Amino acid sequence: MFGYYLDLAVRSFRRNRVLTALMVLALGLGIGASITTLTVLKLLSGDPLPHKSARVFAPEIDPLPADSTTKPADLWRGWGNIMSYTDAMNLLRAHRAERQAAMALTPVKVRPQQAGEHPFFSNGVMTTAAFFAMFDVPFEYGGGWSEQDGEDRARVAVIAAELNDKLFGGKNSVGQTVRVNDHDYRIVGVAGKWAPQPRFYAVSLGGRGYGDGDAVFLPLQSGSADKMNPQNVNCWQVADITSLETAPCAWVSLWVELESAADAGAYKTFLSNYVAQQISLGRFHHPEVALPDLADYLAQQQVVPSDARLQANLAFGFLLICVVNTVGLLLAKCLRRSREIGVRRALGATRSAIFAQFMIESAMVGVAGGVLGLVFAELGLWAVRHQPAQYASLAHLDLAMFALTFVVALIASLVAGLLPAWRACVVAPAPQLKAV
């Protein structure tokens, strides 16, 4: 029976080529637009640390002066988990979490050792020892530095594989030196490919939210001693920023890893106690603290550009119109065939057989629309990749989206086919036959 219905559907498409083409095209466009925007949205709102995002937390404190009328929640939306060097170091050295790392971004000037090569800029991260273990950074050679190296302000560095390829031709460069901002840093490790999306740790530090990973990692204390400029400095008082380590300015972000909800509760209490202690010392004036986990933090920072969400919403509105359009056209087509239905019914076809026949016809429109939608989605993503956005190069159709295209197409077309199919199966055969 199925084969017969398919044959009937194909015959019906042949009779109304323009109408059929129109339905498939409209459905394809709607699906293509929806899948394109959905792929971008999924890419932008991905989980940067899939295995441990629920265990990584961002401590947030409010250092603003007493007369500040900024609500802490508003402050954190703007600042996130950045704080002064003093506070970050105090919290870091308390060792109250399983792992903790402080960090700041800095543009680094790298000078190749080979003669004739021009120096170039790269992205650097000044951080502390636990960064690599906490954020699951893989290593090709060597490893990170020790906490003692940081405290000693040792000039040691971890470089990314890409920079290692550029400077050392991909060979094991552990023990070699890299010249960063006119200082020699000894390489202790070469990190493998590591570029979480979104770049959650860069969000509050003035870095870009998506795109490539960083090239050079060095101890926060050493970079600070060598006067490397952090990307983002927010001062809450007139400040002498020649000595950033003691200035009333937030420029270091802190991340902690906590094993369980109980640990998180305990850490939040510790954070409150720390702030209370600083209030009694006269340094702080606001007791509020926050400890969002990674997912909540990304939501709080509104990392996903609102344009992307807006586009996805509009694309679904677009799909809705395309489905309504298809329903209308399918209905027109099927009512035109009342006579054919009458004949079939008179010859013994049951209502459910008619219903099935028309549903199969709409499903075929759906599958064709899905294939076309896939083509449009690839075209749309190709266009996205050629946009100068940070995330552009990451926009590819993945397998799940590929499957979703067909599910969406099929559901859309079946929903669109319901009304016409029902109308077709309630056609009374007698009047139709009389007219012949």
Q: Which is nearer to another protein, 100 or 221 (CB)?
A: 221
Q: Is 165 in the site for another protein (CB under 8 A)?
A: no
- Min CB(111)–another protein separation in Å: 6
| DSSP strands (E only) in 320-399 | none
Query: Contact between 387 and another protein (CB under 8 A)?
Result: yes
Asked if 414 touches another protein (CB under 8 A), the answer is no
Contact predicate 252/100, CB 8 Å: no
| Residue 407 touching another protein (CB under 8 A) | no
Taking CB under 8 A as the binding criterion, the range among 144-152, 276-284, 292-300, 382-390 that sits at the site for another protein is 382-390
Rg (CA), the chain: 31
Residues 109-128 that bind another protein (CB under 8 A): 109, 111, 118-121
Nearest to 331 by CA among 432, 423, 425: 423
> Do residues 217 and 125 make contact, with C-beta atoms less than 8 angstroms apart?
yes
Q: CB–CB of 151/92 below 8 Å?
A: no
**Is residue 310 a contact point for another protein (CB under 8 A)?**
yes
Side-chain-side CA neighbours of 350 within 13 Å: the count stands at 4
| Residue 409, token pair as written in the block | 């197409």
Determine, following the binding rule CB under 8 A, whether residue 400 of this chain makes contact with another protein.
no
Instruction: Sketch the per residue contact string, 54 through 73, with another protein: x for CB under 8 A, - otherwise.
Output: -------------x-x----
Consecutive H or E run containing 123: strand 120-127
CB of 321 to another protein, least distance (A): 5
Residues 11-40 that bind another protein (CB under 8 A): 18-19, 22, 26, 29, 33
Single out the segment in contact with another protein by CB under 8 A; choices: 146-154, 213-221, 274-282, 385-393.
385-393
Nearest to 47 by CA among 311, 402, 304, 252: 304
Task: Read off the DSSP letter of residue 201.
Answer: G
Please report, for residues 28, 39, 307, the alpha-carbon distance to residue 378 in angstroms, rounded to integers and kept in the order given: 12, 11, 20
Contact 259, 19 (CB under 8 A): no
Termini Cα distance of the chain: 27
Candidate residues 306, 348, 352, 430; the one interacting with another protein per rule CB under 8 A: 306
Taking residue 76's Cβ as centre, other Cβ atoms within 10 Å add up to 24
Q: Which is nearer to another protein, 239 or 295 (CB)?
A: 239
Contact in structure between 86 and 254 (CB atoms under 8 Å): no
Q: Tell me whether residue 321 or residue 428 sits nearer to another protein (CB atom).
A: 321
Choices 43-51, 133-141, 239-247, 404-412; region in contact with another protein by CB under 8 A: 239-247
Is 433 near another protein (CB under 8 A)?
no
φ/ψ of residue 417, rounded to 5: -85, -15
For residue 153, the one-letter residue type is R
Contact status: 325 vs another protein (CB under 8 A):
yes
Binding mask 330-359 for another protein (x = CB under 8 A): -xxx-xx-----------------------
Residue 58 and residue 294 in contact, taking contact as beta carbons nearer than 8 Å: yes
Using CB under 8 A, which of 73, 94, 225, 324 touches another protein?
Answer: 324
Q: Single out the residue of 327, 354, 372, 427 in contact with another protein (rule: CB under 8 A).
A: 327
* Residues near another protein (CB under 8 A): 18-19, 22, 26, 29, 33, 67, 69, 78, 109, 111, 118-121, 182, 227, 229, 238, 240-242, 305-307, 309-311, 313-315, 317-318, 320-322, 324-325, 327-329, 331-333, 335-336, 387-389, 419, 423, 435-436
